[in-house]
Each structure stands twice: as structure tokens, then as C-alpha cells.
A and B are shown apart, each in its own frame.
Chain A
Amino acid sequence: MPSVSELQEMYEQAVTARRYEERLQEEYLEGKQPAFDISAGPIPGELHLAAGHEAAAVGVCQHLRDSDVVTAPHRPHHVAIAKGVDLRRMTAEIFGRRTGLSKGKGGHMHLYDPEVNFACSGIIAQGCPPAVGAALAAKKRNTDDVAVAYLGEGAISQGAFLESLNLAGLHDLPVVFVVEDNDWAISMPKGRVTDVDDGSRRADGFAVHGDRVDVDDAVAVYEAAGEAVGRARNGNGPTLLEVQVHRRMGHFMGDPESYRPEADAERAEALDSIPRLEERLRAHGVEDDEIEGIRERANDRVEDAIVWAKDQPQPDPEEAYEDAFTQQPEGWPERPEVAATDGGER
């Protein structure tokens, strides 16, 4: 069981992540009224928010340290927060600012914070092989670091994931695959895209440990992840851990969700993990005003990050030509110049 202070930490991360998504939603939709125009408003591009996924982030990351590696998918904010990614610079990146984690080049699906070994990417199951690679590096270097790959339940039919399971199992690598099962791959319910209800059974075919947490509960995740991360850290091989979470918002902001039964959204609301975590705190004797204090601290932190980010400068257009290589060849990339057969006169 987590200690009271661990419970408080997990709660703080969870409410920070929740508040963050709610505030980003507000910011994102600003300027998109009355018509939802994806190119308008203060936050560029697509936005995939993770409200309802917090238990999977905080329950696992509570066992991790900065040197452990995490790869996350296109819905990354909650995991980034739980892993300790610099919130101000992450927010600046999401707002497309020069002082963002990637100088505005990456965006919300491409957040990298090497200080805490966090990365995410926009293509389904893409983070699995790199997590295996990070685990391989840890094993070769004899550190006891572990790697965690987050993916959605929609990703468990993707080759990159299945190949990663096999490779990890074959070499007993210190990696944990965390499947966040929110029941929906965009519009496709789990039952339409796989005949296996319990995704952790995918592990059986690769002689890898498989486990599933059926309730959306940070403490249950903490227990299961403790075993999985411990197994990896102690050199006893990989685990596939599937965790039931809920998608409280659309797949992306702007998703009309017309495919989704209303009862399903109501279920997501009813089974939310955050009130459950609050009850745990109360059961451990944490007073309401302490809980309120944690919430206020989380809200302040989120607000600070957003205010800071919005005050940051936009990148200079010329910066678009930097960073494609670490050792960029001289004169690269080639820029337009007029070619004329009359000797090049313009």
C-alpha cells in the first residue's frame, strides 16, 4: 500500500493533470467560436486531452525516478506531469513558443524532456520499440533503470507493440508496457478491433508477465505497477500491464463523439478515479482542508505555467531551418535561388 505521503503526492499529480487538461481545453477553444476552426485560437494544431486517464499516470510513475525512461503516445500530458516534466516549458511548447521544450518545433504530441527521460510521439505504438531500446541500454550498462512505454488499448494490435513484447521477453529486458484502456480507439470500441477483452493476455504468447487492473483506481495501479517495475528493476524481465481508465473528453478537441452512447460518457464520469483517491486520503485521516490545499496548489501551478507560457515569445521564422541535424551540414537546407540558362541573371 502507498504511504499517506505517497497518496498525497499521487493525488497532487492527478489533480494537477486534471486541472491542466481542463484549462488547456478552455484555452484551446478560445477563438474557435462560433465555428470550430482547427487553425484558430491560441493553441495550434490538434489537442488530445487525457482527463480520466490520471490513475494510470500517477500509479505507475510513483515508482519511477528521473533516470527511468518513459515513452508516451499522442495523449501525453498526464504522464508527462507524473514523470516530472518541466510544466512551464511543456506548456510553452503546447502554445508553440520559442522557450518551449522543443522551441515550438514539436508541439503537444512531440514533447521531449531529457532531464527526466520523457518523450512522446504521435504515431500509434511508436514509443514501444524505443522503450525496449532504453531497457536494452540499461541492461547493457548494468544500471537498474527501467523503461515504461505507455500506449492505448487501440495500439495493442499494432505490429510495433507485438514485436516489442517479443524482443523484451526474449532478452528479459527491464521494460513495462502500460496499456491505458479507455475503451475507445477514436470511434472504435475495443470489441470491434480485437476479440480479446483482457489486453494483458497478449503477454501470454510472448512468455511475458501480463496483468490487468480492472478498476480505474490509482492505488490499484500503484500496487500492480509496483510489482511490474520491481520485477524489471530486479532483472526479472518485462511486464504488460493493462489499466482501465476512462476518456472524459473526445479523442481530440473537436471530436463530435456522435458515435458514443451517452451512457458511456456518464459511466466515465461515475467511475472517475479522482474522487476515489480523495476517499482514500480521507480514510487515512487526511482532513478536507488539506485536500483543498493540495488542489489549490495544483491549480496555482497550472495557472503559473499557462500564464508564463502565454507570455513567451513566438519563434522567429528563420528558426525553422535549424535543428533537423545535430551536426547540420553547412548551407543546409538548400534555399531557393533562381536558376536561369542565360547565366543566372535575375
Chain B
Amino acid sequence: MAQVEAPGPETTDRELTMSRAMVEAIRSEMEENEEVFYMGEDVADYGGIFDSTQGLLEEFGHDRVMDVPISETGFIGGAVGAAMQGMRPIAELMFVDFFGVCMDQIYNNMAKTAYMSGGSVSVPMVLTTAVGGTYNDAAQHSGTLYGTFAHLPGMKVVVPSTAYDAKGLMHTAIRDDDPVVYMFHKRLMGLAWMPAPEGPKTPVPEEPYEIPFGEADVKREGEDVTVVTLGLHVHRALEAAEELAGEVDVEVIDLRTLVPLDTETVLDSVRKTGRLVAVDEDYRSFGVTGELLARAAEGALEDLEAVERVATPDVPIPYARPLEEEVQPGVEDVVEAVRAVR
């Protein structure tokens, strides 16, 4: 399909929640291409626990919006097989924390097939999954695991933070010939029962458009400190930057995709500010924030004055509100980290 220049969000005054923008892209691809279908638990009549397939059943029926047994190894592996036959399945892992049930199919099969086959077999599928905490769902339902998926070669990893990006990244994901893990943050979806913060609801053009992978988005320009983040924490970082306005001039970068990672945009900013704060809802050790600091050190060491990272400490996500609030990186944590590198 031809690459279409993405129309900017300013071309419409229709605003969508992230879930609706994501669904709009899926609907459009399903209308265009008979080979696209969706599989997951509670994706048909329920419309996805996090509204990821809301309204698709009515248009496409149970053959293309397939409820599946609670058998993640079976149906995600099944999506891999259908993709190897050239179809373009989208499989949904209800919560990313459930990856433990089915990681063999994801890691050893979906992600490695292109390489193991010497490029002769591709797996053009999308694995969608809900990530993130903030609503006290405790240790087995609150992870983001961005770093886990990005660490393992062979999967492209996408993390939208706005409705505009959610739509464009979904179009790109479905059209991509490789497996794409599309990680949507529950708190950003715009669910009636889990109110989103200001920010993810954006104008979304009605026509299809792609957002290329590997292009970070500079959400706010600044001269003093670079904050690099993704997902929910894009909005927290922007809030922190606003709070610091007049005191510290903060640049905020939304990575949008982890694989591929737009290192150049990060390094350009770090060369300008000399100060880097990496912010992530995932675990602190061996994860995204460490990777960002490493790349900054490798690529811009001479410009680097100070670094800091804000991430979830290395404990399973606790249940009680004061405990989850303690480990969940907040706006104030970002403010403090920015002040610390100044």
C-alpha cells in the first residue's frame, strides 16, 4: 500500500479517545484487506475489555472478530501460523502480564521466524496488549513490560500516547511485514470507567494515515533538560514541564516506538541540553531507562552533564493505594529528577 503523507491533527476538529482512534484504524484495514482479522478473549460481543475492538463485531461478524478460548499459547501461536501463510492477523493478549502463559509462541516463534528462515518466511501480525497500572490492579495486572519485549530481538514495539498516534501507528503496524507488539496503556484509552488524563484525546483525521516507526515526537521544545519517555508518562512529563516552566526549560520527547528506537532525536536533544532524564513506568533495572542512558553515553558522552532516571522500582506492583502510588512514577518524581540534573 502506498505511503500516505500523514494529515496533521489540525486538519479536523473531531476529537477521539485513544481506543476509538485505534479501532478506526483496525476497521479501515479490515475493510481494505480481507486478510486482516482480530482474535482475542472477549473481543467480539464485549468489544474488548479495554474497548480495543468496540463496534467491530457488528460490521465484520464473528468470523473476523473472533472470540477465542482462554488459550493464549494456542491462539497467539495460531496467529503466528496464519501470518506465516500471509494473512494479517491481529491477536490480543488481554493484559501484558499474561505474556507468561504464552511467551514461547511470542519469543521463540513470532519473533525469530524471519531470522531463522533466513528471511524466507515473514510473520506480518500485530500483537495488541493492554499495559499499565494506576488503578490498583496489583501484581498480576499492572505491568507495562516495555523493556521485556523491546529487549528480545525480532519484534517491533509500539507504544502510542495519543489518539492521533494510536491511529497512525496502528495503520503502520497492520501494514508492516514483521510482527509488531502494540502496547496500549489502559489509563490512556478514554474508558468511561477509567478516566484518562488531559492529553491522549486529540483531533484525529478521518482518512487513513501512517506514522512511521522509529520517529520520536518532540512534544515540547526546551533548552535546559531533555526528558525522554513514552506512553502514559508522556503526559506526566508534559505536566512536570509545565510546572517547571519559568524555572527550567524542559524538552519532552515521546519515543512512540521502542523498536526501532529513534536514537538520533534523543541524541540531538541531549547535545543541546546536556542533561537527560529518562522516564518509564516499567522497572528501573535492565530496562528502557537504562538503555536510553547507555545510548546517550555512547553517542553524546562529551555533551552529557548529568543524567537521571525515573522508573518503577524493582518490586512487583503492589495493591494498596499508598503502595502503588509510592512505586508508580508521578509528576513530582519527574519534577524532582529534572531539578536534580540542573
Direct A–B contact in complex, judged by CB atoms less than 8 Å apart:
yes
Chain A residues near B (Cβ < 8 Å): 35-39, 44-46, 96-98, 100, 102, 104-107, 109-110, 121-125, 154-155, 157-160, 185-188, 192-194, 254, 258-259, 314-321, 324, 332-336, 338-342, 346
> By the criterion CB–CB under 8 Å, are B70 and A157 in contact?
yes
Contacts of B335 in A (CB 8 A): none
> By the criterion CB–CB under 8 Å, are A336 and B192 in contact?
no
Contacts of B136 in A (CB 8 A): 39, 44-45, 96, 107
When the two chains form the complex, which single residue of A106, A259, A340 contacts B306, counting CB atoms closer than 8 Å?
A340
In this assembly, does B107 line the interface, its C-beta being within 8 Å of a C-beta of chain A?
Answer: no
> By the criterion CB–CB under 8 Å, are B323 and A336 in contact?
no
> By the criterion CB–CB under 8 Å, are A194 and B69 in contact?
yes
Q: Can you report 10 residue pairs joining A to B where beta carbons are below 8 Å apart? A: A44-B321, A97-B320, A104-B318, A107-B320, A159-B101, A188-B41, A259-B45, A315-B323, A317-B326, A321-B315
> By the criterion CB–CB under 8 Å, are B319 and A105 in contact?
yes
Residue interface bits B300-322, CB-to-A below 8 A is 1, else 0: 01001111111001111011111
> By the criterion CB–CB under 8 Å, are A38 and B41 in contact?
no
- Interface contacts (Cβ under 8 Å), in number, total 182
Please report the C-alpha to C-alpha distance between residue A44 and residue B328 in the assembled complex, in whole angstroms: 15
* Chain B residue total in the interface (Cβ 8 A): 57
Min Cβ gap A120→B in Å is 11
Please report the C-alpha to C-alpha distance between residue A333 and residue B101 in the assembled complex, in whole angstroms: 27
Chain B residues near A (Cβ < 8 Å): 41-42, 44-46, 49, 67-71, 73-74, 97-98, 100-101, 134-141, 192-195, 284-285, 301, 304-310, 313-316, 318-327, 333, 337, 340-341
> By the criterion CB–CB under 8 Å, are A39 and B100 in contact?
no
* Given A44-B319, A159-B74, A320-B326, 7 additional A-B pairs, CB 8 A: A45-B136, A124-B101, A185-B41, A186-B41, A258-B45, A320-B327, A334-B313
When the two chains form the complex, which single residue of B73, B138, B310, B320 contacts A109, counting CB atoms closer than 8 Å?
B138
> By the criterion CB–CB under 8 Å, are A193 and B340 in contact?
no
Q: Across chains A and B, which 4 residue pairs bring their CB atoms closest together, nearest first?
A: A107-B319, A104-B320, A96-B320, A44-B136
> By the criterion CB–CB under 8 Å, are A320 and B315 in contact?
yes
Contact A320 B135, CB 8 Å, known A159-B101, A187-B42:
no
Contacts of B49 in A (CB 8 A): 186
Contacts of B70 in A (CB 8 A): 124-125, 154-155, 157-158, 185, 193
Please report the C-alpha to C-alpha distance between residue A140 and residue B23 in the assembled complex, in whole angstroms: 53
> By the criterion CB–CB under 8 Å, are A37 and B195 in contact?
yes
Please report the C-alpha to C-alpha distance between residue A258 and residue B42 in the assembled complex, in whole angstroms: 12
Min Cβ gap B54→A in Å is 11
Contacts of A315 in B (CB 8 A): 320, 322-323
Min Cβ gap A343→B in Å is 11
Please report the C-alpha to C-alpha distance between residue A193 and residue B322 in the assembled complex, in whole angstroms: 39
> By the criterion CB–CB under 8 Å, are B140 and A319 in contact?
no
Contacts of B314 in A (CB 8 A): 324, 332-334
> By the criterion CB–CB under 8 Å, are B97 and A123 in contact?
yes
> By the criterion CB–CB under 8 Å, are A318 and B308 in contact?
no
Min Cβ gap B25→A in Å is 23
> By the criterion CB–CB under 8 Å, are B320 and A339 in contact?
no
> By the criterion CB–CB under 8 Å, are B73 and A159 in contact?
yes
> By the criterion CB–CB under 8 Å, are B138 and A193 in contact?
no
Please report the C-alpha to C-alpha distance between residue A124 and residue B70 in the assembled complex, in whole angstroms: 8
> By the criterion CB–CB under 8 Å, are B71 and A38 in contact?
no
> By the criterion CB–CB under 8 Å, are A121 and B140 in contact?
yes
When the two chains form the complex, which single residue of B97, B307, B318, B333 contacts A339, counting CB atoms closer than 8 Å?
B307
Contact A105 B284, CB 8 Å, known A39-B134, A124-B70, A340-B341:
no
> By the criterion CB–CB under 8 Å, are B327 and A188 in contact?
no
Contacts of B98 in A (CB 8 A): 123
> By the criterion CB–CB under 8 Å, are B284 and A333 in contact?
yes
Please report the C-alpha to C-alpha distance between residue A333 and residue B306 in the assembled complex, in whole angstroms: 22
> By the criterion CB–CB under 8 Å, are B306 and A341 in contact?
yes
When the two chains form the complex, which single residue of A155, A317, A341 contacts B304, counting CB atoms closer than 8 Å?
A341
